[in-house]
């Protein structure tokens, strides 16, 4: 569903000056792309409480009724989302029309543009994507809500990365069940530990990190 949306995905482009992929037509001043994503496909198999059962969505998507179509997420729901565009450096080919990747000047150096910063060139890390807040009011007037699941999800991500940092470093291929070790391997302040009398970290506490809010 979400990975095969063509159709009913719709898209349109507008180019001012020149022609797409035709260097002989002169430089392009600007261009825009618009895409509409089908909500039926996006909510398929979602676990959100406000979403319909997968069977109802499948029936609606197949045009068989059984639910009257997939409703949009409820106001106040949050989704993780991000957008990416890769811009390769190109040169005009010998024919004067086609473009080719500039393998001499920029062999492995495309520009990567994203909506929400990932921290590295790696889009397939959804725990780092931005937050999309759904609303039922007018555009740009809905007050941002606090994402109540953020503290526990941030802690889970911090533990995951701390485990891999330990395994790839001091742990020499092994994970650890010592929470004080994970607190040291995690980003500063991401995890804290309550240390028991035995000196080991026996309780993990999540620091309530207030996530930058996205509308």
* DSSP character string of 128-183: GSEEEE--SS-TTTSPPPP-TTHHHHHHHHHHHHHHHHHHTTTTTT-----HHHHH
Q: Give the pLDDT confidence score for residue 181 in this predicted structure.
A: 92
Q: What is the token pair recorded at 59?
A: 């029936």
Tell me, what's the pLDDT at 123? 92
pLDDT of residue 137: 87
What confidence tens digit (pLDDT) does each residue in 122-132 have? 999 999 999 99
Q: What is the pLDDT of residue 1?
A: 59
CB within 8 A of 156, min separation 6: which ones? none
Which residues make beta-bridge pairs with 30? Answer: 16
| Tokens linked to 52 | 């319909």
Q: What is the distance between the alpha carbons of residues 41 and 2, in angstroms, rounded to a whole number?
A: 5
What is the average pLDDT across 24-38? 89
Average predicted confidence (pLDDT) for the chain: 78
pTM higher than the cut 0.75: no
The C-alpha R_g of the chain, in whole angstroms, comes to: 24
Task: Please write the tens of the pLDDT for every residue from 59-101.
Answer: 444 543 333 345 668 888 899 999 999 988 888 999 999 998 8
State the DSSP string of 58-106: HHHHTT--SSSSPPPPPTT-EEEE--EEEE--EEE-TTSS-EEE-TTT-
């Amino acid at each position: 569903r979400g990975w095969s949306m063509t159709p009913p995905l719709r898209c349109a482009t507008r180019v001012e000056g020149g022609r797409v992929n035709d260097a002989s037509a002169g430089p392009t001043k600007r261009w825009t792309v618009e895409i509409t994503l089908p909500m039926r496909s996006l909510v398929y198999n979602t676990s959100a409480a406000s979403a319909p059962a997968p069977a109802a969505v499948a029936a609606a998507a197949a045009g068989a009724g059984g639910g009257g179509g997939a409703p949009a997420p409820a106001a106040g729901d949050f989704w993780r989302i991000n957008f990416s565009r890769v811009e390769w450096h190109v040169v005009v080919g010998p024919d004067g029309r086609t473009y080719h990747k500039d393998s001499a000047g920029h062999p492995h150096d495309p520009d990567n543009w994203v909506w929400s910063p990932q921290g590295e060139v790696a889009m397939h890390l959804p725990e780092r994507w931005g937050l999309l807040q759904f609303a039922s009011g007018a555009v740009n007037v809905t007050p941002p809500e606090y994402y109540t699941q953020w503290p526990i999800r941030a802690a889970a991500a911090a533990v995951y990365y701390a485990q891999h940092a330990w395994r790839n470093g001091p742990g020499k291929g092994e994970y650890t069940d010592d929470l004080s070790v994970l607190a040291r391997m995690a980003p500063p302040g991401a995890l804290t530990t309550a240390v028991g009398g035995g000196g080991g970290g026996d309780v993990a506490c999540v620091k309530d990190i207030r996530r930058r809010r996205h509308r």
